[in-house]
Amino acid sequence: MNDRKTAVVTGASSGLGRAMARKFRSEGFYVVAVSRKAPEDGVCDLHIPADLTEENSLAAAAAEILKLERVDVFINNAGIGAYAKWDELKEQELRRLMELDFFAPVLLTTKVLPLLRKSKACVVNISSAAGLLPVACMGAYSAAKAALRMFSDTLKTEERDIHVVTVFPGRISTGFGSRACGCREVPNTPSHGSETPEELAKRVYKACMKKKRSLIYPWWYKIVIGIMLRMPGIYEKGSRKVWKI
């Protein structure tokens, strides 16, 4: 019997997921990590090995989660990027990206919903700034993260007993780009660089505790995205230049 508050984090073996797992653990949560590789020592209390792009592996992970007494926070974080124009992206890459970035969070969440309802859980979906603003040469990623946002926002309305937070991170250094698929190099755009996984983790924790609906990090992305959406012609021209299209 575990009467500690419990947080489940997918993709806690690196980057943002690892930082969020550490933050919730430091706040006294029993942390369950779901990923292919085992997280390093101190990140979680329990590791459920799973490849969330595989139907059977995802179902087995859901079955393990349903054995827990409670889930207070459920973070859909595991994800992958893709840098390619639509006609450059291989079908297999597109399917893998949609499996991990969209189908996996939807299927895993819905499979464990009875426990989330019973626990009055807070579900956190890690979308992306690219889910708010169309990013050329990351079109598939933008589409998957926009779809995840819609999942998140509609789940919020459908489920009275759970709280849902949608998170839109901007660029944060984690090595995410080097693990992405697609044939293009990440362009050498100026990096602001002061954002960290640890700071995002603190804000996600606060957003759960304060029952916020959404979180954009860093905050000024809200302004940049607003401007870009109002000036589509200039934004498209700039994007073509950056991506050498």
Applying CB under 6 A, the residues found at the interface with ligand NAP are: 11-17, 35-37, 50-53, 77-80, 100, 126, 128, 169, 171-172, 174-176, 179
The answer to whether 35 is a known catalytic residue is: no
As measured in angstroms, the least distance from the Cβ of 14 to ligand NAP is 4
As measured in angstroms, the least distance from the Cβ of 138 to ligand NAP is 10
**Which one, 29 or 168, has the nearer CB to ligand NAP?**
168
Identify the active-site residue in 35, 127, 128, 152: 127
Backbone angles phi and psi of 7, in degrees to 5: -120, 130
The answer to whether 178 is a known catalytic residue is: no
Identify the active-site residue in 145, 152, 156, 217: 145
Q: Are 168 and 129 in contact (CB under 8 A)?
A: yes
Residues 6+ apart with CB under 8 A from 3: 69
**Which one, 2 or 149, has the nearer CB to ligand NAP?**
149
Amino acid at 218: P
Quote the tokens at residue 99: 């499996």
Would you mind telling me the total number of residues written for the chain in this entry? 245
Residue 244 Rama label (left phi>0; alpha psi -120 to 50; beta) = left
Strands of 127-234, DSSP E: 163-169, 214-217
**Which one, 149 or 163, has the nearer CB to ligand NAP?**
149
**Which one, 137 or 172, has the nearer CB to ligand NAP?**
172
The answer to whether 141 is a known catalytic residue is: yes
The answer to whether 127 is a known catalytic residue is: yes
As measured in angstroms, the least distance from the Cβ of 161 to ligand NAP is 25
Quote the tokens at residue 72: 């207070």
Q: Which residue matches tokens 């893998």? A: 96
Which sequence positions are flagged as catalytic?
13, 127, 141, 145
